[in-house]
Amino acid sequence: MSTGWNFARRPFRDERPVLMTIGVTALLALLFFAANVQLNLRFSRQVEGTRREIAELEKRRDAASRASQVARQAVEGYRLSTLADEAAGLQTIVRERRFSWLGLLARLERTLPPDVRLSRLLPRFDSSESVSVDLAVIGRNAESVVHTIAALSKDEAFRDVKLQSEASPEKGVPEGYTFAIRLRYAPMELR
């Protein structure tokens, strides 16, 4: 049986409830679709904000990682330089302990001329194998300075002999001719 659009025919079919149901269902579907679109837009905006926050946090994490790496390298460099300074200090202490005062004094006793006497002796230890020594010497006359420098220069244990200062009795020094010498002392056992 074919149904046509002739509503005057009998039996009358009342299709209004079906159409009403279809209309309400379509209207609800349209409302749900609009709500879904609205939720999707709101979610997209929230996700976009979250994506920006994530990107910002990743940038901050990368910057913090780089800064911590630089700080770690600086600390390691500081530790290494501190250890190097401590090692140099320990080596200086070892050189001071190995230094033979008796050897230096015996060498000076053999080397210095008989007309001079030693009034001050100050060794300084540095990173080289030799020791820098400051001597304050008192001589009987002006020739004592020349004889002392010549004698020290001839000895192979003393190098770089330099006259630092000189004072005579005329300049107010009652003891005699005083002079200061700086030299490098490298005994045979340290070479």
Q: Kindly list the distances between the CA atom of residue 46 and the CA atoms of 38, 49, 51, 58, in Å, as whole numbers in the listed order.
A: 12, 5, 8, 18
Sign of CA dihedral 29, 35, 38, 42: negative
The overall pTM is greater than 0.85: no
**CATH architecture of structural domain 100-190:** 2-Layer Sandwich (3.30)
Query: Out of 29-43, 79-93, 146-160, which region has the weakest mean confidence (pLDDT)?
Result: 79-93
Q: Is the pLDDT of residue 7 over 70?
A: no
Mean pLDDT of the chain: 82
- Distance between CA atoms of residues 138 and 191, nearest Å: 30
Encode pLDDT of 18-75 as tens digits.
Answer: 899 999 999 999 999 999 999 999 988 888 888 888 889 999 999 999 998 888 888 7
Beta-bridge partner residues of 124: 132
Q: Where along the chain do its domains lie?
A: 14-98, 100-190
- Distance between CA atoms of residues 99 and 130, nearest Å: 10
Write down the H helix ranges in the chain: 16-98, 101-111, 143-154
Q: Is the pLDDT of residue 191 over 50?
A: no
Q: Is the pLDDT of residue 82 over 70?
A: yes
pLDDT at 190: 47
Encode pLDDT of 165-186 as tens digits.
Answer: 887 777 655 677 888 889 888 8
pLDDT at 22: 94
pLDDT at 127: 67
